[in-house]
Amino acid sequence: MRTARKKIGMILQHFNLLNSRTVLNNVEYPLLSQSISKHDRRAKAKKLLELVGLGEFEASYPEQLSGGQKQRVAIARSLANDPDILVSDEATSALDPKTTNDILKLLKHLNETLHLTIVLITHEMQVIKSVCQHVAVMDQGKIIERGPVADVFSDPKQALTQNFVDSSANVPEALAQIKADESLQQLTNNERLLYLKFRGRATRESLISDLTESYKLKANILFGNIERIGSTSIGYLIIILSGETKRLADGINFLNQNGVSVQLIPTDKKGVNKHVKANIS
C-alpha cells in the first residue's frame, strides 16, 4: 500500500505547507526519503516550481504568499514523486473565482503536458465543466451515475445529478421567477410550459424558428442559457408553446427527433410544480 501511495499525489484544500521551510524546501520535502543527492533533489524541486509558475519565489516562506501561490506550491510538492494519479480534494474551494480559474488552467496544463490522470473531488459544477472529461456522481458513498461530462450534463439519469446540472445552468432560479408570475400559473389547454435542452448540433440550428413556422405554433421564450462543456455546447430554454393540440404534439415530436430533450413543467392553481419528463400529446 505504501508503494502504491507513492504514485498518488494529493492536493488538499488548506495547502498544509510547512511554515518553517522555504517554498523550495516544501517542494523538496517528499524527496527526503528517497535515495537522491541533494543537488538532484534541489534541481527537481526548482524544475517543478518553474512548471507551476513560481520559480522566482523559491526562497520565500509560505506566509509571504497568496492563497493561489500556496496552492501552486502544494501542486508542485504533489508532483515530486512523479505520480501516475493526482487527487485534488476540494483544492479550489478556499480560493476566489479568478484564482480558482488560474489553478484549473494549471491543472489542465499538467494533465495535457505530463499525461497525468487528475481526479477532482468537488461540489463546484463549474470546475467539472471547465477541465474534466469524465464525471462520477456520488451519493452516500456510492457512485450513482458516471460517464463523459457532456453526456451526463445533457441527459442526467438520476434526480441528484439533474439537480446539480440544472443548478449550474441557473434553471432553478428561472423556475422560481416563473412560479412567482401569476399570469403563468394557469395556462390554457392549447399552451404548454416546456423545458428544452439542446446538445451539440442542435444548439447551432434554428429549431425554434423551424418549429413555429412548420407547425403554426407560437413560442414565448421565458429563459435561455448556453454553455460550453469540453468540445460540446449545451443549451437550455424554458418556453410557452401554444397552438392546436395536434400541432403541439407534432411540434414536440419534431424537437425530440432533432435531439432536443423536452420536459413538461406542469402548472396548476398553486403554481409551477417540479418539472418531470413526459410524453406530450
Q: Could you tell me the three cell numbers for 254? A: 419534431
N-to-C CA span, the chain = 58
Q: Which of 224, 212, 220 is nearest to 252 (CA)?
A: 212
Average pLDDT rounded to a whole number, residues 197-215: 88
Which stretches within 29-131 are classed as H helix? 38-51, 67-78, 97-114, 125-131
Task: Please report the DSSP string for 2-29 in residue order.
Answer: HHHHTTEEEE-TT----TTS-HHHHHHG
Residue 121 sits in a domain whose CATH number is: 3.40.50.300
Q: What is the pLDDT of residue 129?
A: 84
Residues linked to residue 120 through DSSP beta bridges, in sequence order: 88
Rg (CA), the chain: 25
Check residue 275 and give its pLDDT: 41
Q: Which helix or strand (DSSP H or E) is residue 53 part of?
A: none
Beta strands (DSSP E) in 104-242 are 117-121, 134-139, 142-148, 191-199, 218-229, 232-242
| Domain at 231, CATH number | 3.30.70.260
Distance CA 46, CA 30 (A): 14
Whether residues 94 and 7 fall in one domain: yes
Backbone angles phi, psi at 229, to 5 degrees: -120, 105
C-alpha cell at 91: 483544492
Residue 89 confidence (pLDDT) above 70: yes
> Which residue range is the domain that position 32 belongs to?
2-132
**Is the residue at 210 inside a domain?**
yes
Q: Is 169 helix (H, G, I), strand (E, B) or coil?
A: coil
Name which of 15-24, 173-182, 238-247 the model is least confident about: 173-182
Kindly list the distances between the CA atom of residue 161 and the CA atoms of 7, 59, 102, 149, 156, in Å, as whole numbers in the listed order.
Answer: 31, 45, 27, 11, 6
Residue 8 sits in the same domain as residue 128: yes
The count of domains in the chain is 2
The pLDDT tens digits of the residues spanning 120-171 come to 999 888 888 888 999 999 999 999 999 999 888 888 889 999 888 888 888 8
Assigned domain for 155 exists: no
* Residue among 31, 79, 76 at smallest CA distance from 54: 76
| pLDDT given at position 279 | 38
Together in a domain, 19 and 70: yes
Identify the CA nearest to 67 among candidates 134, 15, 143, 135. Answer: 15
For residue 156, being part of any structural domain is answered with no
> Is the same domain home to 175 and 264?
yes
Closest CA to 84 of 119, 131, 46, 120: 119
Same domain flag for 181 and 128: no
Query: What percentage of the chain reaches a pLDDT higher than 90?
Result: 59
Q: Give the range among 23-32, 111-120, 193-202 with minimum mean pLDDT.
A: 193-202
Whether 217 has a pLDDT exceeding 60, the answer reads yes
For position 253, what pLDDT does the model report? 94
As a whole number, the mean pLDDT across the chain is 88
Q: Is residue 137 in a domain?
A: no
Whole-angstrom distance, CA of residue 53 vs CA of residue 68:
11
Nearest Cα to Cα of residue 29 among 71, 66, 79, 103: 79
Confidence bin at 272 (pLDDT 50/70/90): very low
| Distance of alpha carbon 227 from alpha carbon 128, whole angstroms | 13
- Asked if 127 and 209 sit in the same domain, the reply is no
